[in-house]
Amino acid sequence: MFTDASILVTGGTGSFGQAFVPILLKKYKPNRVIVFSRDEMKQWEMAKKFEGDARVRFFIGDIRDRDRVYRALDGVDYVVHAAASKIVPTAEYNPFECVKTNVIGAMNLVDACIDKGVKKVVALSTDKASCPINLYGATKLTSDKLFVAANSYAGGHNTRFSVVRYGNVMCSRGSVIPFFMSIKENGALPITDERMTRFMISLEQGVKLVWQTFEDMEGGEIYVKKIPSMKIVDLARVIAPAAKQEMVGIRPGEKLHEQMISAEDAHYTYEYPEYFKILPAINKWDTDVNRIKDGKKVPEGFVYSSDNNAEWMSDTELSAWIDANWDKIGAI
């Protein structure tokens, strides 16, 4: 699919893009990989890693800028949409800015991809879009709905849109593991709530889910990766066994447990060996055999959340993962 193709990654200097681009270049033979983002310093730093590789292009721009998005998509075949305003407390205190990026930016991208004849678009979502309680989650749910409906909105155009959804990325910038690693020598780790659980997924697993989505999608599906859960108190104990755990309370807009599929979504959800697929509720696409393929309908009332997960990461597994990824933690 990607041989001799042009692929654009919005928010491409973020944690996902830093993992996605080198894997894409190694696994496939694309003609161009365009990194689209608004931070020139991050682009300058990232460009050093690909010096001499003419396939990698860097394009300064903001997803909010409709004209710039159109210009960036000239000749592009596939798009991965990773750009987002995603820090929960920041979104709570700066709601207008979050909406501009996550909602208006998504609308700009949908229009531009259709008009420019892009073949397929995969947008990255978050567990917080399932039954959202914070503004970030609400904007990402809106974004998900926009990308799902875009397959109908496209009319006679052939551009297809789908979404991938996953939880806590284990070594992404600002996530809990690099944060705990950075302060473990202080002798105390802040814990928001001793009951809190989180899904655990590596960047490599997130990238693989995007590949699977591009290969499988018909348009409008939301793909949810099957991944293990872990209690935050256990995660803190593995990282700093001797550190005191101080309960500090849940932050504004923070959830006790992550949820990726709600009971309301269960009616449209199918299970596969490595992921779940939430089919669109519109246009009777949830009964389309081309979208269902060999999926098995989940039970009525099914909920996929980090506290009721069938798979849990052990202390040994987490410790081994940290040892194997020490050089990556906090580096991107």
Cβ partners under 8 Å of residue 322, min gap 6: 177, 181, 238, 239, 329
Backbone angles phi, psi at 50, to 5 degrees: -120, 20
Cβ partners under 8 Å of residue 253, min gap 6: 88, 89, 91, 92, 133, 134, 135, 136, 137
Q: Side by side, which strands form the sheet with 275-278? A: 56-60, 32-37, 6-10, 78-81, 120-124, 160-165, 222-225, 275-278, 269-271, 296-297
User: Distance (Å, rounded) from C-alpha 146 to C-alpha 279?
Assistant: 14
Is 128 in the active site? Answer: yes
Look at the block and give the residue holding tokens 């990255």: 124
Please check whether residue 209 is in contact with residue 275, taking contact to mean a CB–CB distance below 8 angstroms.
Answer: yes
Backbone angles phi, psi at 204, to 5 degrees: -60, -40
Among the listed residues 86, 116, 128, 231, the single catalytic one is 128
Q: What number of other Cβ atoms are within 10 A of residue 301's Cβ?
A: 10
The set of catalytic residues is 128
